[in-house]
Amino acid sequence: MKTTCRCAVLLALLFTASWCQADFPIVLPPIPTPEVEIWVAPDGDDTAKGTKQQPLATFAAAVKAAAAARRGRPESAVCVYFGEGVYPVCETVTIDSLAGTSDKPIFFRSAPGAAGKVRFSGTAFVDGWEPLAESDFWRQAPEAFRARIRPEAIEKILTAPYTPYRTETYAPNVYGQRQEMFVGSRAQTLARWPNDGFAESGKALGATPKTSWAHDGTVEGIFEAAADQPPCWDTEPDPFLFGYWFWDWSESFERLGAIEQRDGIQVIHIQEPHTSSYGYKHHLRYYGFNLLCELDAPGECYIDRAGERIFWIPPAGDQSVSPELVTFERPWFLSIKNCAHLVLAGLTFDGGFGGAVSIHDSDSILLADCTVKRFGKTAIEMIGGSDCGCYHTELSTLGFGGFVLKGGDRKTLTDSGYFLSHCKVFDFSRIKRTYAPAILAEGCGMKFEHCEFAESSSSAARLEGNEMLIEYCYFHDVVRESDDQGGIDVYDNPSYRGNVIRYNLWENIVGGTHCGAAGVRLDDMISGFHIYGNIFVHCGAVNFGAIQIHGGKDNLVENNIFLDCRAAVSFNRWGERYTRTFHDPDAPDYQSIHKKCYEDVDITSDLWRERYPQLAAVAEDPDVNTVVRNWVVNCPEIFKNRGDMVIHEDNIEEKIDGATVESLCRPDALGKVGLEPIPLEEIGPKPGGFLKD
């Protein structure tokens, strides 16, 4: 590419980079003085009047009372107050077609002074524990059962009746159907081997060879067990395996089939149908679980549904704790449909097979100062409608992901108005180990600000759409186990435009096994992102830098700090493959990309070409990205696999002993290297909240 052409591209990028429809101000609803008060208490009565002196007992009754109040006094401000305490949840509560107004939203909130002390619970404390070795059950147990317990573990194990906590469905290998037991925020582990991490198999032994660019294996799930795998698994009635069977970004649960001996080596057969569509490679990572014979470590448990018993080894150093078992198995605690101007504030939703709150086709719904924890699937979803969001809300200990947000109209580039502000999501993707992020955002026009995302085996955020703004957020300690992922991950659609990632802190994102891990990963033709004013600390691994760009173009990386990273930016180029994808009907990706660019949306329309002028040349000049005015400190290299298509100017590379984020973000330090200010003090959630009482 000629120098003049490079300059034209750079000027065009810099001119259009700041455009982002989602840079809208977040306006929180007012807290009006209630004109109708409805009171609820754990010791209330649903036949009562719902006054402070005669409160109702359940959320469902409060919804009915609020609807009646709106019908009877439609101009009044309605507020439901929940008193301090625990509210057992047995059925999904549905709020349908209930609406307040912009100046008088309907509130469902904690009573004054009770924020954080109102808990809707889908768990039950397990009673009746006794030492296994001293129990009548053990003395009467058949020899075949007794043989499944390790002799050295007998004195450690407690047992209790399971019948009071039995649920209709239970499947330890199915997301949203695993019944978990908790001690505080710590999930007790279904008895497994090895106790931590993974075992490494030997060779795959299926009949049909499977070969890819990186691995060899077989189609069938037959492989040599790890050399030190215990020999007891074939005595177990319901054994499962978890593994990364071929790629370390694709995992699944498999049911263990036969185990045979071949020349002194245990050979594992996975029951059909095999769920790994990619096959099973040599030397894959796996572990076995739901194995009573492997119950040997503190914090492990086993649920024997056939025998109606629970077996458990308490956490080390605390033999007196009382664990809780999740018993609520419905998909959602709370379902909101076709509503408007509702506020849920100061409430805790705790413990369920599925999720906490589902919001569909509703407008101006706010969750504020709420806590959501110990759920098996997605915690909160918002689908359809507009202007819904979460403020100062914390999600944690999640088997799946945090938020699923699907809104706006990409064809017309209409914003959803969805937002997350001052929220935290941590310890997520515990059971579903990949593609269960803290945020899955699909659509157009969403804003995520002042949030914190941490502690996950895989990505923290996945963006699927246009006009997404991520700013002042703190991403750390994610992508700890999987491969070929990023803290933010975006994939396979060059029409995703208008997205801005600015003023965020990325720290300790260094997982990855074969390809790598990055703070921001733009994968397979993702283009037109503006990554500005971020701080990357100890990010990038294997073949990835802190930012990884794979086959995309028109991305602008500017005014960022990279400290102690594998590299600042890494690239995998598509070259001719990119142009063929747009021009050649026989190209492997042609049909998919044409549907995404010309059917799902129309990138040739006047609206799209006016909003995103670069689309005029979307099919040309592959791999042209711009990296300018960045400060790269104590990194082995600025670029990895750069090639000659990257426009790069005024990037400063230095070795600075004792460099810290604070020292590099000082205005005088940034000014010396020609960078604009980066507001470190604004990054992450801030103290405070919505309720003021």
**What's the mean pLDDT in 90-101?**
97
pLDDT mean across residues, the chain: 95
Q: Is the pLDDT of residue 18 over 80?
A: no
* Half-sphere exposure at residue 189, Cβ-oriented, CA atoms within 13 angstroms: 20
Residue 420 CB coordination number (10 Å)? 29
Bridging pattern class, strands 461-471 and 424-426:
unpaired
599: exposed, middle or buried (Cβ count in 10 Å: 0-12, 13-18, 19+): exposed
Q: Do 599 and 587 fall within a single domain? A: yes
Q: Do 519 and 596 fall within a single domain? A: yes
Cα angle, residue 404 at apex, residues 402 and 406 outer, rounded to 5°: 165
Q: Do 159 and 264 fall within a single domain? A: no
Q: Do 630 and 669 fall within a single domain? A: yes
Q: Do 445 and 519 fall within a single domain? A: yes
In a domain, 673, yes or no: yes
Smallest Cα–Cα separation from 616: which of 601, 600, 603? 603
pLDDT of residue 7: 53
Backbone angles phi, psi at 222, to 5 degrees: -135, 125
Q: Is the pLDDT of residue 279 over 60?
A: yes
Confidence of residue 319 (pLDDT cuts 50, 70, 90): low
Backbone angles phi, psi at 554, to 5 degrees: 65, 20
In a domain, 94, yes or no: no
pLDDT of residue 8: 47
DSSP assignment of 298-356: TTEEEEETTTTEEEE-PPTT-SS---EEE---SSEEEEEES-EEEEEES-EEEEESSEE
Smallest Cα–Cα separation from 223: which of 251, 200, 191? 200
Q: What residues contact 338, with CB distance under 8 A and at least 6 apart?
A: 96, 97, 360, 361, 362
235: exposed, middle or buried (Cβ count in 10 Å: 0-12, 13-18, 19+): middle
Q: Do 166 and 214 fall within a single domain? A: no
Report percent pLDDT > 70 for the chain: 97
Query: Which structure tokens are listed for 74?
Result: 């439609």
> Is the peptide bond preceding residue 679 cis, with omega within 30 degrees of 0?
no
Query: Which structure tokens are listed for 420?
Result: 């997350």
Q: For residues 390 and 441, is the Cβ–Cβ distance under 8 A?
A: no
Q: For residues 218 and 224, is the Cβ–Cβ distance under 8 A?
A: no
**What's the mean pLDDT in 204-233?**
95
Q: Do 616 and 551 fall within a single domain? A: yes
Confidence of residue 4 (pLDDT cuts 50, 70, 90): very low
Backbone angles phi, psi at 145, to 5 degrees: -70, -45
Q: Do 310 and 231 fall within a single domain? A: no
Residue ending a domain, among 293, 313, 336, is 293
Q: Is the pLDDT of residue 115 over 60?
A: yes
Cα–Cα distance for residue pair 228/205, rounded to 1 Å? 18
Residue 688 CB coordination number (10 Å)? 10
Q: Is the pLDDT of residue 550 over 90?
A: yes
Cα–Cα distance for residue pair 173/189, rounded to 1 Å? 13
Query: Which structure tokens are listed for 602?
Result: 């129309």
Q: Do 304 and 288 fall within a single domain? A: no
The more confidently predicted of residues 196 and 11 is: 196
The strand order across the sheet containing 158-161 reads 130-131, 158-161, 309-312, 300-304, 189-190
pLDDT of residue 318: 67
Cα angle, residue 349 at apex, residues 129 and 693 outer, rounded to 5°: 120
In a domain, 337, yes or no: no
Cα–Cα distance for residue pair 660/538, rounded to 1 Å? 11
Query: Which structure tokens are listed for 403?
Result: 């938020």
* Half-sphere exposure at residue 118, Cβ-oriented, CA atoms within 13 angstroms: 26
pLDDT of residue 552: 97
pLDDT digits (tens, 9 = 90+) for 167-216: 999 999 998 999 999 999 999 999 999 999 999 999 999 999 999 988 99
Q: Is the pLDDT of residue 499 over 80?
A: yes
Residue ending a domain, among 277, 293, 309, is 293
In a domain, 433, yes or no: yes
Confidence of residue 693 (pLDDT cuts 50, 70, 90): confident
In a domain, 138, yes or no: yes
In a domain, 440, yes or no: yes
Tally the domains of the chain.
Answer: 3
pLDDT digits (tens, 9 = 90+) for 302-315: 999 999 999 999 99
Q: Do 552 and 620 fall within a single domain? A: yes
Smallest Cα–Cα separation from 379: which of 361, 397, 392, 360? 397
Residue ending a domain, among 293, 313, 346, is 293
In a domain, 140, yes or no: yes
The more confidently predicted of residues 10 and 433 is: 433
pLDDT of residue 1: 40
Q: Do 11 and 143 fall within a single domain? A: no
Q: Do 174 and 227 fall within a single domain? A: no
Cα dihedral sign, 407-410-412-417:
positive
Q: Is the pLDDT of residue 66 over 50?
A: yes
Residue 427 CB coordination number (10 Å)? 17
Residue 32, SS3 per DSSP: coil
Smallest Cα–Cα separation from 512: which of 490, 550, 489, 479? 479
Q: Is the pLDDT of residue 282 over 80?
A: yes
Backbone angles phi, psi at 664, to 5 degrees: -75, -25
Q: What is the CA radius of gyration of the chain?
A: 27
Query: Which structure tokens are listed for 652?
Result: 């400063």
Using the structure block, give the residue that is written with the tokens 């300790």.
Answer: 508
669: exposed, middle or buried (Cβ count in 10 Å: 0-12, 13-18, 19+): middle
**What's the mean pLDDT in 233-252?**
97
Residue 693, SS3 per DSSP: coil
| C-alpha to C-alpha distances, 254 to 243, 290, 355, nearest whole angstrom | 8, 12, 24
Q: For residues 343 and 109, is the Cβ–Cβ distance under 8 A?
A: yes
Bridging pattern class, strands 251-262 and 181-183:
unpaired
Report percent pLDDT > 90 for the chain: 93
**Strand ranges for 219-320 from DSSP E:** 222-224, 240-244, 251-262, 265-270, 280-281, 285-289, 300-304, 309-312
pLDDT of residue 12: 47
Cα–Cα distance for residue pair 378/437, rounded to 1 Å? 9
In a domain, 524, yes or no: yes
Q: Is the pLDDT of residue 21 over 90?
A: no
Residue 613, SS3 per DSSP: helix
Q: For residues 187 and 348, is the Cβ–Cβ distance under 8 A?
A: no
Q: Is the pLDDT of residue 515 over 70?
A: yes
Q: Which residues on adjacent β-strands are paired with residue 453?
A: 425, 475
| C-alpha to C-alpha distances, 49 to 77, 78, 114, nearest whole angstrom | 18, 15, 21
pLDDT of residue 671: 97
Confidence of residue 19 (pLDDT cuts 50, 70, 90): low
Full residue range of the structural domain in which residue 255 is found: 199-293
**What's the mean pLDDT in 590-598?**
97
pLDDT digits (tens, 9 = 90+) for 454-494: 999 999 999 999 999 999 999 999 999 999 999 999 999 99
